Amino acid sequence: MFNNLSDKLDKALHVLKGHGKITEVNVAETLKEVRRALLDADVNFKIAKNFTNTVKEKALGQDVLTSLNPGQLMVKIVKDELTSLMGGETVGINLSGTPTVILMSGLQGSGKTTFSGKLANYLKTKKNKNVLLVGCDVYRPAAINQLQVVGEQIGVEVYAEVGNQNPVEISLNALKHAKETGKNVVIIDTAGRLAVDEAMMTEISNIHKAVNPHETLFVVDSMTGQDAVNTAKAFNDILNFEGVVLTKLDGDTRGGAALSIKSVVNKPIKFIGTGEKMEAIDVFHPDRMADRILG
């Protein structure tokens, strides 16, 4: 995860770590390298620039140059800023409803169906919830099938209506069914397209209005970098979602999505997907991720 970014930041900060005393020139050079590392990770130019400017201000404010261990202090400032860039605090999922309704949004292939299964499994095994999965991708029978396979694998009921082409109706029927069968959580998996288009946005917006979810999660493939951020913005403009799920962080992700998304949509990353298996889900902790990036 973020290997390239970690290596580059390590190299950039290594220069400082070696110096007992550091100069303003050392700091400036290091920050230039840090900015380059962020840009290489596909972080937006403005965000990278703001980042290094903030680190510089903090370094000056904390008298890094005259401190006992300037290298260590700089590393700490960079770590704190990385944490804050990724949202600062860990933000959990709101499970207050009876039942709690969670709506999944995102493009086709982002990992929505897989994540719906992972989340259902997590809530069932870790939070002791009785979960209902709902298949609303009325265009691709294979998607409903996939959800049913997942449901069977984790022992969670899947609600689907073969032949019904109206996802709003299916969602509302599913909520009724969930209430009748005493479910605590309903996870609605929706249809995505390969790119943002009006029909998809209208459909998800209609489902959103009809079910009034407690949590709308935007699922995005972290391998798509800046595109992930642009897609997040498009979905957030329509849905004003509660949180982001970054999938495929087990791959060779550069890091741009994780580092930029919070600044752009101002919504927390709540979960990450780290593999194809049902157990490959983690609550997102910005500070732990920053620790990991800085090694």
Binding residues: 106-113, 189-193, 247-250
Site string for ligand GDP, 41-70 (x = CB under 6 A): ------------------------------
- Which of 109, 124, 173, 282: binder of ligand GDP (CB under 6 A)? 109
Q: Is 192 in the site for ligand GDP (CB under 6 A)?
A: yes
Task: Give the residue, chosen from 62, 84, 275, 294, that forms a contact with ligand GDP under the rule CB under 6 A.
Answer: 275
210: contact with ligand GDP by CB under 6 A: no
108 contributes a contact to ligand GDP by CB under 6 A: yes
Of the candidate residues 251, 252, 279, 291, the single one contacting ligand GDP (CB under 6 A): 251
99 touching ligand GDP, by CB under 6 A: no
Q: How far is the CB of 18 from ligand GDP (least distance, A)?
A: 37
| Site stretch for ligand GDP (CB under 6 A), options 27-35, 107-115, 197-205, 254-262 | 107-115
Smaller CB distance to ligand GDP: residue 40 or 250?
Answer: 250
Nearer to ligand GDP, 106 or 213 (CB): 106
Exposed, middle or buried: residue 252 (CB in 10 Å: 0-12, 13-18, 19+)?
exposed
Amino acid at 25: V
- Going by the annotation, the residues of the binding site for GTP are 106-113, 189-193, 247-250
Per rule CB under 6 A, is residue 167 in the interface with ligand GDP? Answer: no
Q: Of 288, 285, 286, 275, which is closest to residue 121 (Cα–Cα)?
A: 275
273 lies in the site for ligand GDP, by CB under 6 A: yes
Which of 90/108 has CB closer to ligand GDP?
Answer: 108
Rounded to an integer, what is the distance from CA 188 to the centroid of its chain? 18
Of 3-11, 28-36, 152-160, 244-252, the segment contacting ligand GDP by CB under 6 A is 244-252
Least distance in angstroms from the C-beta of 223 to ligand GDP:
9
Minimum Å gap between C-beta 150 and ligand GDP is: 9
Candidates 111, 167, 243, 268: give the one binding ligand GDP (CB under 6 A): 111
Cβ closer to ligand GDP: 112 or 208?
Answer: 112
CA-based end-to-end distance of the chain: 11
> Among candidates 268, 262, 279, which has minimal Cα distance to 114?
279
Nearer to ligand GDP, 73 or 170 (CB): 170
The alpha carbon dihedral of 173, 177, 183, 189 has a sign of negative
Can you tell me which of 112, 208, 254, 267 binds ligand GDP, judged by CB under 6 A? 112
Residues that bind ligand GDP (CB under 6 A): 106, 108-114, 192, 247-248, 250-251, 273-276, 280
